[in-house]
Structures are given as structure tokens and as C-alpha cells.
């Protein structure tokens, strides 16, 4: 009887049963991020390492470049949703509080066998990031570059800047623009452009905003601002808040002003 009493006191059953499926879903996305990390590494390897010279990779391996673009698109969409749903973290904290209280009371609930305390701790670190999926990709890219010391860093950053350039030109040029039949394809192109810019900025020693950068940042920001889509603001915020070098002295006043 005492057991039941404490059970109902400490565990509002409805809240718990609503949170469990959500936590299971969060776990699936967390595990997906680990797979994404490995997939990105193989993709970067294929897109930067021999046999082709760096300038030919994207052309010769268009299917892989498309996969990379799909990953970036997913990543930016996921993080956008995560940022606009602060309830995710509240619900997850509730879950963690509940399982740690249960441990004190020596209770174990079914759901815990799926997301135990250790897994919950790892997931909590992941969801504490403002943009967890993007952070996963930039970590993986940085790691890839530092592990392959024989591979010049430019081979990776050139691949990223070329992709940014392709996207910008597609968005700027009326002939290409007219082929974007719906806003989804337009958004796809914008997200991929912003994704590669952010990765470039994390991996390149001086980043994407410096004068020596191979990305035409002014052009990219302008083309984003010219789009009618409502998602533009989120993407501009991604450039403002998830890049590393925007506030460096090497960033021109013009670029700063464009992002204000």
C-alpha cells in the first residue's frame, strides 16, 4: 500500500505516459545523429580524397553531392524545429527527474529499459545544444579534417565553398529560379547553402566571413534576403548565431551590416 501511495504521489501517470513516447522519439533522433556523423565522414572522404582532383569531385560524384545536400537540408530543418519547440527540453528534464527519483525509490519503469539513466545523460548533452544536428555535422567535419593530416584542409573547404556557390547562383539566376516549381525546392537550396557556409566557417581557420574566404558572403546573404520565404529569417539567424567567425575583426562592416 505504501508503495502504491508513493507511486501515485510521485508519478502523475498521465504526464508520464505522454512523455514516454516523446522520449523514445528523441532517442531515435539522437541515434540518427550518430549515424549521420559516420555517414558524413564517408561522404567527405569520397568527395575530397583521391582519385579525382578537388575541382572535379562534385561534378563526377553528383549523386554523393546530392546525398550531402539532403543531409544538410534535414539538419537545418531539424534544428529549426528544435529551436522553435522549447517544450522538448522541458519534457525531457521531466523524464530525467522522474527516473532519478525512481532510482532513489528503487522503482524501475518499463520505459526506462529503453532510455536508461546513462542514455538520458548523453541525450541531455545533445539536446542542450542550440542546434544539435548542425553541431554533430560540424564536429564530424572538424574531426575529419584533423584526422586526415595528409589531406590539405582546402580540399574539404573548397568542396563546401563550391556547393555554396552553386546554390547561390541557382537562387540568383532567373533562368534557374523559374525551375523552382515550389517553395520546398527553394527552401532546399537555401538550407543547403546556409549549411555549407556554417560548416565552412567552423572548419576553415579564418572562416567564411573574412576577405580571403572563398565564399561570396555578401552575395549569399543578399540572395537570402531577396527570397519571399518565411523561413529566411531562421536561416539568417543560423548565420548570425551558429557561425564562429562572424564577430571576428576580419569581417567587413558591410557584411555585419547586412546581418544586422
Enumerate binding residues for ligand NAG (CB under 6 A).
Answer: 45, 49, 125-126, 129, 132, 135-136, 139, 147-148, 150-151
Question: Of 89 and 148, which has the nearer Cβ to ligand NAG?
Answer: 148
Question: Of 61 and 172, which has the nearer Cβ to ligand NAG?
Answer: 61
**Calpha distance 226→94 (Å, rounded):** 42
Question: Of 75 and 213, which has the nearer Cβ to ligand NAG?
Answer: 75
**Calpha distance 161→215 (Å, rounded):** 5
Q: How far is CA 228 from CA 124, 174, 187, 225, 232, in A?
A: 36, 14, 10, 8, 8
SS3 content of the chain, % helix, strand, coil (to 5): 75, 0, 25
Nine cell digits for residue 118:
546513462
Question: Of 92 and 188, which has the nearer Cβ to ligand NAG?
Answer: 92
Question: Of 135 and 244, which has the nearer Cβ to ligand NAG?
Answer: 135
**Calpha distance 237→131 (Å, rounded):** 11
The CB density around residue 86, as the number of other CB atoms within 10 Å, is 9
Across 173-208, b (16+ Cβ under 10 Å) vs e yields eeeeeeeeeeeeebbbbbbbbbbbbbbbbbbbeebb
Cis peptide before 150 (omega within 30 of 0): no
Question: Of 135 and 177, which has the nearer Cβ to ligand NAG?
Answer: 135
Minimum CB separation of residue 120 from ligand NAG in Å reads 15
Minimum CB separation of residue 133 from ligand NAG in Å reads 8
Return the SS3 of 209: coil
Q: Which phi and psi (to 5°) does residue 49 adopt?
A: -85, 165
Minimum CB separation of residue 158 from ligand NAG in Å reads 15
Minimum CB separation of residue 260 from ligand NAG in Å reads 29
Question: Of 35 and 179, which has the nearer Cβ to ligand NAG?
Answer: 35
Minimum CB separation of residue 34 from ligand NAG in Å reads 9
**Calpha distance 37→167 (Å, rounded):** 23
Minimum CB separation of residue 183 from ligand NAG in Å reads 29
Minimum CB separation of residue 20 from ligand NAG in Å reads 24
Amino acid at each position: 500500500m505504501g508503495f502504491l501511495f508513493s507511486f501515485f504521489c510521485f508519478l502523475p501517470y498521465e504526464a508520464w505516459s505522454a512523455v514516454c513516447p516523446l522520449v523514445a522519439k528523441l532517442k531515435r533522433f539522437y541515434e540518427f545523429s550518430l549515424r549521420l556523423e559516420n555517414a558524413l565522414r564517408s561522404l567527405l572522404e569520397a568527395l575530397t580524397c583521391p582519385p579525382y582532383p578537388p575541382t572535379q569531385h562534385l561534378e563526377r560524384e553528383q549523386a554523393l553531392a546530392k546525398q550531402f545536400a539532403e543531409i544538410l537540408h534535414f539538419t537545418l530543418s531539424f534544428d529549426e524545429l528544435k529551436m522553435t519547440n522549447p517544450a522538448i527540453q522541458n519534457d525531457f528534464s521531466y523524464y530525467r527527474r522522474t527516473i532519478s527519483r525512481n532510482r532513489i525509490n528503487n522503482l524501475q519503469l518499463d520505459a526506462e529499459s529503453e532510455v536508461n539513466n546513462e542514455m538520458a545523460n548523453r541525450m541531455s548533452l545533445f539536446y542542450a545544444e542550440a542546434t544539435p544536428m548542425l553541431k554533430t555535422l560540424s564536429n564530424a567535419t572538424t574531426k575529419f579534417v584533423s584526422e586526415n593530416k595528409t589531406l590539405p584542409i582546402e580540399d574539404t573547404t573548397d568542396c563546401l565553398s563550391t556547393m555554396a556557390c552553386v546554390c547561390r547562383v541557382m537562387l540568383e539566376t532567373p533562368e534557374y529560379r523559374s525551375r523552382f516549381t515550389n517553395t520546398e525546392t527553394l527552401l532546399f537550396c537555401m538550407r543547403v547553402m546556409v549549411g555549407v557556409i556554417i560548416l565552412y566557417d567552423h572548419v576553415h581557420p579564418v572562416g567564411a566571413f573574412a576577405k580571403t574566404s572563398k565564399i561570396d558572403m555578401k552575395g549569399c546573404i543578399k540572395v537570402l534576403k531577396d527570397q519571399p520565404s518565411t523561413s529566411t529569417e531562421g536561416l539568417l539567424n543560423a548565420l548570425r548565431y551558429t557561425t564562429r567567425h562572424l564577430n571576428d575583426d576580419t569581417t567587413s562592416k558591410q557584411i555585419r551590416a547586412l546581418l544586422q
